[in-house]
Structure 1
Amino acid sequence: MPSAHVDTFARDRLPPPALMPEFVFELPELQFPAQLNCAWELLDRHVAEGRGERVCIRAPGLIWTYRDLQEQANRIAHVLVRELGLVPGNRVLLRAPNNPMLAACWFAVIKAGGIAVTTMPLLRAKELKAVLDIAQCSHALCDRSLAQELEAAAQACPQLHHRCYFNGHGPQGLEHAMQQQSARFANVDTAADDTCMLAFTSGTTGVPKATMHFHRDVLAVCRCWPAHLLRAQPDDVFIGSPPLAFTFGLGGLLLFPLSIGASTVLLEKAAPTQLLEGIRDFKATVLFTAPTSYRAMVAHGAALHGSALRKCVSAGEALPASTREQWREATGLEIIDGIGTTELLHIFISADEAHARPGATGTVVPGYRAEVVDDEDHPLPPGSIGRLRVKGPTGCRYLADERQAGYVRQGWNYTGDAYSMDADGYFRFHARTDDLIVSAGYNIAAPEVEEALLQHPAVAECGVVGVPDTERGQLVKAFVVLRPGHQGDAAMVRALQDFVKRAIAPYKYPRAIAFLEALPRTATGKLQRFRLKVE
């Protein structure tokens, strides 16, 4: 089927055919029709088949059924089209903590044939501007509580013609506009290979990359890992900490539960204490969070004995064998580990509870292929450490980005991870093969933190690296050369940390800072990060 997109921005910026990954659709359930809008399969289908009164979304003080979510999404879709002039293919920035209205906005954009661009709640104006410029968003739907940074970014983004806020009060809000609209909406008849979402990932250069995902991709990830390894049931209640702007969170807290008619709990704040309370209060049965959170909750594991919780999923960073063991001893539950990337949308290597092995991520997920190769792209024998490459029904498509050639080669997706595979097909993580810092499940680009530090008047030079940490996997550590007249003391450490928190998303700030007389550089002046890592 031809594309339904009137605005062809996304299709015009797909990678050239020579740099596209090879897509594999070997499983029968991955045979998609040419015409497909994933909102039908995930949401509307349940109402049409008589499950409209099943609980879909739970949040503090609120319960929505599948019919409720459908009607809210339909009204928002009408607002987008009738009042804000959205045409299929327009990009819509979505900005909110995890809450029901964010989910409704996501589905509204998909239904209207738009492209959802969901952003991290903690992003500052500078980071939002980068996203808005790359995606050329014409519309934004934003939680009123996060309006300030969006308004600041919008001043420098003339292409952002429409901004509408929800979860606020007054006649200008999205809810007021929704009241005037019908609860019925005819989904745009999109092609299976029309882009329906852009997910941003931090590049090692600090310049974000937009990964492009089709309607068929959204359904493909629902039919691989969750169907074959998670094996949740319609009566399950999902809960977790990752934001819906992370594909780990989007899948675990929205796509996967809705794909089977289950319910999900959306918490605006999901620190370990709040997560424990949520598991108890909502009788959650399936948990999605990062190893850092599992380690923090181990001390309260006894409270989970006898709870409804029955499945625990970890991703976002490598799961240490010690964390797996501590969690099992504290709760009696085995963690389901997995590795996925924003580029491939979700998990492609994992193991279920019965087949988990300490220190191993797992085996390749049905529907995908994975290999460990050397620097010449030759497959390595079992036990050898090399670069991980993957192919399957999803793959990397960077939007108009020359870095596509570094991620996709000969049809394979190179994830940037160093792995080994044993004789039984179990993959074990060893390190990143690039300078991306993965801390507590967050991807952080060292150059972005360096740039923020260099804006401080006391900083002459700096270098940022990730260093091993038992709690967070890696810590962001900065090595700073101060200008004359400044002291490298505890007060300066706090001042620099606070400065970075104000400049960029707070989770990126350097938790450790060391002061040097000079940074290690090559004869040509290039920073030698590897030497900083051993300081």
Structure 2
Amino acid sequence: MTARRPARHRSDAPDAAASSAAPVEGDLYPHMHARFQWQLPDQISLAELCCGRWARETPEATAILSDSDTGCRAHYSYAQLQRAAHRLSNALQRLGVKVGDRVALVMPQRFETAVAHIALNQLGAVAMPLSMLFGPEAMAYRLQDSGACLAIVEAGALPTLREVRAECTALSHVLVVGGAALQEGESDWMAALQAEDARFQPRLHAADDPAILIYTSGTTGAPKGALIPQRALMGNLTGFVASQNWFGFDPRDPSVASEAVFWSPADWAWTGGLMDALLPTLYFGRPIVAYQGRFTPERALELMQRYRVSHTFLFPTALKAIMKACPHPRKHYDLHLQAIMSAGEAVGDAVFHWVQDELGLTVNEMFGQTEINYVVGNCARLWPARPGSMGRAYPGHRVAVINEDGEVCPPGTIGEIAVHRRDVHGTPDPVFFLGYWNNDAATRAKFTGDVENSWCRTGDLARMDAQGYLWYEGRSDDKFKVAGYRIGPGEIENCLVRHAAVANAAVVPKPDADRGSMVKAFVVLSPGHQGSAQLVTELQAFVKGRLAPYEYPKDIEFIDSLPMTTTGKVQRRVLKQLELERAQGRPGASVSG
């Protein structure tokens, strides 16, 4: 594998960002953030940036390293990726897919998923990734709401799609990846591609042309489709290279590069897997591991060893699982990690220090949303990380904590994290989504201020210190009051996870006749531990001795797993609803994700 320099140093690629700043010693952040300026071209094509140019210039370089729990492995080059994408673009065009049409991708991490994204983009269609884990209701809602005209489906998800297809009147055809007995209106992927020419003339895109439609994870309310433009990937790049400790490049000498291999268990059907892993890795012409199989801590460590993974995105639940299952991984695995990025939930200082002690790295926590991805985080190589902090605004993004009136809060004050449409120089920030699909009211509600000079609200609470570090305080709808005290679940959950018996925890309010509510903790135990009244008392004392007296959980319930979204976030609303139903006398209520 040949290491390559970032595209912005190439003459044929858009100069997405530039800084005339000379490197300085120590904390580089204030200098970088103040001097960074966006420089975007009028035309941007994800297919060209992530595949076309590499297929021409380094065609034999590895793009996808495919692996699976069945032992099937393969390597695919950028040339192979491009040829397959050209064939698929021709096949889709023959099936009637036009510019702007939404095409659903119900696919896991595999070569064909990358092919589909490149093919759809160069055709001008909008890719709509959907999780393989979606049940019939979740899949039907998104297919109906988007008006998807075609679906590309891995055989494992085909039964679910067939169950709801009659309800999705716009869906005219299904392309099936993998062996399956086909029904009317379905075609085999391999047969369709083999019938087509490996040449195709990609469409030229304006920077604001739509590229991807991603539905929010729906932790509260119905999922909304965020329409992502071509330019959004460029807006992600400062966060990607920072959170990946410059992704194999030397920030003081961009001509110096080392081999980089990326892997993440993050599903390519959501923002964390697609925009934080697959597309940025391909943008830099590097290989990414595509693994089809269930995540386990041992399997994750084996994969990182086998492919000499240098850079990874592991969400906090994955890091916690690895920490509990293999406390000393470097004693058992030959790892080559240079950077770990984490997001989705607060990492917490317990995991932060474990990564430092046992993996020899400082985890780069990151924060973003489907609508405005990769806007806050850390870069251990360029500025000091502070345990428990989610980091600072990445270069190119203007981030603040605001109050209900849209005013910027003074340092140390808790408010809502917001991102301004324009950077510190007044230049439009390319990271922003175009709006919610067919939901103008929700789009307007997301912003405070006029259209061109507004803050985008995230719904997440934090406080910012004098140096620009943000300290997460939880979702605005996760906070609750107990005996007059306002409780944030994150601090209690982080404290519980420090205990050897706790693999994961979620804290919610439990209705109480006297106090209004009490602190309730749902706890997933580490391997080898059993729930008992004695352990409940021990955990309560553990929290009491470390946090405020009113924060310890008066009720602890041991469960096998926490309800999670497909993006790895704890669905506290499910647990809150469970407690409410129990309080209302519904004995059959149980935990379900």
TM-score (norm 1): 0.77
Q: Deviations over 1:100-155 (max 9, x none)?
A: 11111111111110000001111011111110111110010010111011111211
2:508 and 2:262 mapped to 1: Cα distance? Answer: 31
Matching residue of 2:431: 394
**Which of 443, 446, 453 is equivalent to 1:404?**
443
Matching residue of 1:110: 121
**Which of 195, 214, 217 is equivalent to 1:202?**
217
1:27–1:367 CA contact under 8 A, matched in 2: no
Q: Deviations over 1:154-209 (max 9, x none)?
A: 11011101111012267841111101112221111222211010010034553110
1:54 and 1:415 mapped to 2: Cα distance? Answer: 39
Matching residue of 2:458: 415
2:121–2:127 CA contact under 8 A, matched in 1: yes
Following superposition of structure 1 onto structure 2, how do residues 312-323 of structure 1 map, counting pairs within 5 Å?
A: 312-323=340-351
Following superposition of structure 1 onto structure 2, how do residues 447-458 of structure 1 map, counting pairs within 5 Å?
A: none
CA RMSD of aligned residues (A): 3.2
* Matched AA of 2:263: I
Q: Deviations over 1:428-463 (max 9, x none)?
A: 1011113599xxxxxxxxxxxxxxxxxxxxxxxxxx
Structure 2: gaps of 5 or more residues: 1-32, 68-72, 249-257, 421-428, 481-487, 498-502, 512-558, 586-593
Matching residue of 2:303: 278
Following superposition of structure 1 onto structure 2, how do residues 313-392 of structure 1 map, counting pairs within 5 Å?
A: 313-344=341-372, 346-354=373-381, 355-391=384-420, 392=429
Matching residue of 1:259: 283
Following superposition of structure 1 onto structure 2, how do residues 381-530 of structure 1 map, counting pairs within 5 Å?
A: 381-391=410-420, 392-396=429-433, 397-401=435-439, 402-410=441-449, 411-434=454-477, 469=493, 470=497, 471-472=503-504, 474=506, 514=579, 518-519=583-584
Matching residue of 1:73: 85
Does residue 1:45 correspond to 2:53, yes or no?
yes
* Matched AA of 1:400: N
Q: Pick which of 363-372 and 180-189 moved more.
A: 180-189
Aligned to 1:211, what secondary structure does the other structure show? Answer: strand
* Matched AA of 1:313: M
1:238–1:252 CA contact under 8 A, matched in 2: no
1:474 and 1:68 mapped to 2: Cα distance? Answer: 45
Query: Structure 1 residues 515, 192: CA separation in 2 closer, same or farther (over 3 Å shift)?
Result: closer
Matching residue of 2:176: 165
Following superposition of structure 1 onto structure 2, how do residues 228-307 of structure 1 map, counting pairs within 5 Å?
A: 228-230=242-244, 231-233=246-248, 235-269=259-293, 270-299=295-324, 300=326, 302-304=328-330, 306-307=334-335
Query: Structure 1 residues 297, 90: CA separation in 2 closer, same or farther (over 3 Å shift)?
Result: same
1:301–1:327 CA contact under 8 A, matched in 2: no
* Matched AA of 1:184: R
* Matched AA of 2:317: T
Matching residue of 2:233: 218
2:463–2:472 CA contact under 8 A, matched in 1: yes
**Which of 39, 46, 55 is equivalent to 1:31?**
39
2:345–2:569 CA contact under 8 A, matched in 1: no
Aligned to 1:266, what secondary structure does the other structure show? Answer: strand
Aligned to 1:33, what secondary structure does the other structure show? Answer: coil
Aligned to 1:267, what secondary structure does the other structure show? Answer: strand
Query: Structure 1 residues 136, 515: CA separation in 2 closer, same or farther (over 3 Å shift)?
Result: closer
Matching residue of 1:489: none
1:160 and 1:229 mapped to 2: Cα distance? Answer: 39
**Structure with bigger RCO (C-alpha 8 Å, 6+ apart):** 1
* Matched AA of 2:279: L
2:413 and 2:91 mapped to 1: Cα distance? Answer: 55
1:165 and 1:507 mapped to 2: Cα distance? Answer: 32
Q: How far did 1:59 drift? A: 1.3
Q: Deviations over 1:14-35 (max 9, x none)?
A: xxxxxxxxxxx99877433323
Query: Structure 1 residues 27, 229: CA separation in 2 closer, same or farther (over 3 Å shift)?
Result: farther
Aligned to 1:94, what secondary structure does the other structure show? Answer: strand
Q: How far did 1:72 drift? A: 1.3
2:579 and 2:37 mapped to 1: Cα distance? Answer: 53
Query: Structure 1 residues 212, 519: CA separation in 2 closer, same or farther (over 3 Å shift)?
Result: same
Aligned to 1:425, what secondary structure does the other structure show? Answer: coil
Q: Pick which of 393-402 and 100-109 moved more.
A: 393-402
Structure 1: gaps of 5 or more residues: 1-24, 438-464, 480-495, 521-535
1:253–1:265 CA contact under 8 A, matched in 2: no
Query: Structure 1 residues 161, 298: CA separation in 2 closer, same or farther (over 3 Å shift)?
Result: same
Following superposition of structure 1 onto structure 2, how do residues 122-141 of structure 1 map, counting pairs within 5 Å?
A: 122-141=133-152
Matching residue of 2:543: none
TM-score (norm 2): 0.70
1:235–1:263 CA contact under 8 A, matched in 2: no
Aligned to 2:47, what secondary structure does the other structure show? Answer: helix
Aligned to 2:436, what secondary structure does the other structure show? Answer: coil
Does residue 1:92 correspond to 2:121, yes or no?
no
Query: Structure 1 residues 511, 330: CA separation in 2 closer, same or farther (over 3 Å shift)?
Result: farther
Query: Structure 1 residues 383, 466: CA separation in 2 closer, same or farther (over 3 Å shift)?
Result: closer
1:110 and 1:476 mapped to 2: Cα distance? Answer: 42
Matching residue of 1:440: none
2:479 and 2:180 mapped to 1: Cα distance? Answer: 41
2:391 and 2:193 mapped to 1: Cα distance? Answer: 46
Q: How far did 1:213 drift? A: 0.8
Q: Deviations over 1:260-312 (max 9, x none)?
A: 11110011223322211111111111111111111111242533365211211
